[in-house]
Structure 1
Amino acid sequence: MSPRPTILVINGPNLDMLGIRQPEVYGYDTLDDVERLCRETGTSCGVEIDFRQSDSEAEIMGWIKQARGTAAGLLINPAGFTSTSIAILDALLIFDGPIIEVHISPLFRRDAFRHPSHVSRAATAKIEGFGIRGYAFAIAKLAELA
């Protein structure tokens, strides 16, 4: 185990298509850009970053459960699972550290069906609408809480 606390960063479905998918909504930054930003922010804040992306709800749930007792904090961009996954909410409720929900675009300005977030019920805080910079804000706060 690393001597520095670890922040688990989970990215949900289709975030591997950042930079290509709807750039008018998500911008032109790629998931590699997000990962680079997270790692740079983590280094400057004194935390390790465990960065992951999956289109699988089950895989995301597994990562959350595995992080219990090992990760100092969790950043999740649940993407398309935000308003649909009670199962991810239940997994997050098992996690024993701070959780920050991040969204690149502001959900409240999107389609109405995207407005509700089940994940928010388990989150310590929610950051949305700041583009990929929201990840840096979240990691800095999670490092502070760690």
Structure 2
Amino acid sequence: MQSSNSQKANVLVLNGPNINLLGTREPDIYGHTSLADIEADLIKLASAHAVQLIFKQSNSESELIDQVQQARGSVDHMIVNAAGYSHTSIALRDALSAVAIPFYEVHISNIYQREQFRHHSYLADIAAGTLSGFGPFGYSMALLAIIKQLKL
């Protein structure tokens, strides 16, 4: 969709279950940064480039799938933290495959240093890249990768 620097690229930042509790949820694992803090950081970064951010969060698998499907035709890239659904949702994976919008998968914690069931992501092999263990900065890293790809 992005054809020139005069147009804004639309990036959907999609967050799954319990991400709305960041800042207070298990701070020893996820830190003290809230989802609003992450969004504010991304807005600052995007403002220096031709990027329009769309933020969505849901604890519902079906709502996340609906958001992915609705993005088709209007979103250029996605940053996806599917949280627990990364490890369980074939349906979310199918939706991401169906819309064929490039996305970066983000995990705040290092999933490979956690429980064994978290070591597998149903999204990783279809993602443009996976960021795991960089804390909230993983979102900025994903946005920087998108900006570099778009050469904005």
Question: TM-score band (shorter)?
Answer: over 0.9
Corresponding residue number in structure 2 for 1:70: 74
Q: TM-score, normalised by structure 1?
A: 0.95
1:40 match: secondary structure: helix
1:33 is matched with 37
Contact 1:68 1:94 in 2 (8 A): no
Which protein is bigger by CA-based radius of gyration?
A: 2
Alignment RMSD (CA, Å): 1.3
> Secondary structure in 2 aligned to 1:82?
helix
Cα distance in 2 for residues equivalent to 1:100 and 1:73: 8
Task: Determine the structure 1 residue equivalent to 2:138.
Answer: 134
Secondary structure class of the residue paired with 2:87: coil
Structure 2: distance between partners of 1:35 and 1:121: 26
Deviating 4+ runs (over 6 angstroms): none
Q: Deviation at 1:17?
A: 0.4
Q: How many residues align?
A: 145
Deviations, residues 61-112 of structure 1 (Å, cap 9, x unaligned): 0111111121110100000101000000000001233110001110000111
Corresponding position: 1:89 with 2:77: no
Structure 2 unaligned regions, length at least 5: 1-5
Unaligned runs of 5+ in 1: none
**What amino acid is aligned across from residue 87 of structure 2 in structure 1?**
S
Q: Secondary structure at the match of 2:11?
A: strand
In structure 2, C-alpha distance between the alignment counterparts of 1:95 and 1:103, rounded to whole Å:
22
Structure 1 equivalent of residue 3 of structure 2: none
Q: CA deviation at 1:3?
A: 3.6
Does residue 1:9 correspond to 2:13, yes or no? Answer: yes
Q: In structure 2, which of residues 40, 47, 52 is the aligned counterpart of residue 43 of structure 1?
A: 47
